[in-house]
Structure 1
Amino acid sequence: MKVTIIGRKVNLRDNFKELATKKLSRFNRIFDEDAQAKVVVTLEKNRQTVEITIQNRGIFYRAEDTEQEMNDALDQVISALGRQIRKNKSKLDKAVHTAAIDQYIADYAPQEKTDKEEEYKVVRSKHFFVKPLSVEEAILQMNMLGHQFFMFRNEHTGEVNVVYKRRDGNYGFLEPNGE
């Protein structure tokens, strides 16, 4: 797994980078060697946020936590990623190495009572015309509707894109990548 570590508004020490790489190495047997892990550490006031995103075969695993100490946040994020993998084990069979997940659970995950496997149920389907808009117009439309996200056809590229409102009040923009 390729690991990229980024510090925003903070200079990261080598020992933190080594610790993050070591903790992420737990997942090496689950993910392919071409999987990419991105660790972003942000300092805001006296709170440190650690966000880890792992991309493997087009599937994303993401967790984030904010604590006083970045090492504590890192521990929480690694645990959250482990829980995501364990919880969705049967659904991820084709995307990751199943035997490796079983070994990971045996080695690192405490044995917990597991609820019945969560089933995804679509309760509503909606069809609508996707109008060509600019990103700014799509954000305006989303805000007027009071939604958290809005799908539209980008007037510049012709692709279907999504804008969404982030927890921090800013906006995000999703566009497909042909790779």
Structure 2
Amino acid sequence: MDITITGRGVGIPDRFEDYATEKAEKVEHLAPKSIALEIKVCRHHETHGNAGDDRVELTLIGPGPIVRAEAGAGDKYAAFDLAIDKLIERIRQAKDRRKVHRGQHRPTSLREASADGFSVTDITPASADLIDQVATGSVPVTGESEEDWSPVVIRHKVFPSTRMTQTDAVDHMELVGHDFFLFIDAETDRPSVVYRRKGWDYGVIGLEETADELAARR
């Protein structure tokens, strides 16, 4: 697997290259057919008196769908650790989904786990007292300040249309870490979007052209 590291607005020392290359061995072990791992590091400029953060973007290229992950932190090493953990988790989840498709195992749903008091999982539910303290504000919850927060963030991206099955669309969505994925349904030829619901449940929304639209295309 080829590894390329590029920096935008930030230098890439030999120490970071060695660190990233060593960490990437786990990715190659989980995805041995991978062709290349692209690592991009950029520096976010200082804003509102806050120090700029480093951001790492990872793109795993192979014979199958592209896998992406990104993260930001106070330095490039911490950001890389967060990003590669996300990448590894998405690779593992993709393997689990393939096993589910083949009928090898079925994951435990949230309803099944909670019905048995989470005894079959490593999840420890929060106590009623703690939930009440968080709800009443007696236990502070950290987050962005009101002056830095904005409810409207719009990012524009354009991708070439791709025909695929609904199952492939789910795999692509999970591998890039999004909550939805746009595609052309190979069975219906409709522009469609697959989206995450709860747990391992997904939904698909498709667009159907009207008679007027079909006539205009002809």
Give TM-score, length-normalised by structure 2.
0.45
Is 1:85 aligned to residue 91 of structure 2?
A: yes
Structure with bigger gyration radius: 2
CA offset digits 1:43-82 (Å, max 9, x no partner): 1222100010101113111111111111000110111112
- Once the two structures are TM-superposed, the CA of residue 34 in structure 1 deviates from its matched residue by 5.0
CA contact under 8 A between 2:73 and 2:79: conserved in structure 1? yes
Q: Where does structure 2 lack aligned partners over 5 or more consecutive residues?
A: 46-51, 100-120, 124-197
CA RMSD in angstroms comes to 2.6
Give the Cα–Cα distance (whole angstroms) in 2 for the partners of residues 50 and 112 of structure 1.
30
Distance (Å, rounded) in 2 between the aligned partners of 1:89 and 1:31: 10
8 Å contact from structure 1 (residues 32, 56) kept in 2: no
Change (3 A) 1:83 1:30: closer
Which residue number in structure 1 is paired with residue 208 of structure 2?
127
Shift of the 30–83 alpha-carbon distance from structure 1 to 2, 3 Å rule, reads: closer
Aligned pair partner of 1:48 in 54, 62, 65: 54
> Alignment partner of 2:90: what SS?
helix
Structure 1 partner of 2:176: none
Cα deviation, 1:122-150, whole Å, max 9, x if unaligned, reads 1x2113469xxxxxxxxxxxxxxxxxxxx
Q: 1:59-112 CA deviation, whole Å, 9 max, x = no partner?
A: 11111111111100011011111221222323346xxxxxxxxxxxxxxxxx95
1:32 aligns with 2:32: yes
Distance in 1 between residues matched to 2:67 and 2:10, nearest whole Å: 24
Q: Which runs of 5+ in 1 are unaligned?
A: 94-110, 131-179
Which structure is higher in strand share? 1
Structure 1 CA distance for aligned equivalents of residues 12 and 95 of structure 2: 33
Does the CA contact (< 8 Å) of 1:2 and 1:33 recur in 2? no
C-alpha spacing 1:67/1:34, structure 2 compared with 1 (3 Å): closer
The aligned counterpart of 2:10 is 10
The alpha-carbon distance between structure 1 residues 44 and 57, as it changes in their structure 2 partners (threshold 3 A), is same
Equivalent in the alignment of 2:116: none
Question: For this pair of structures, how many residues does the alignment match?
Answer: 111
Q: Secondary structure at the match of 2:206?
A: coil
Residue identity opposite 1:51 in structure 2: E
Identity %: 26
SS for the counterpart of 1:65 is strand
Structure 1 distance, partners of 2:122, 2:90, is 14
Aligned to 1:169: none
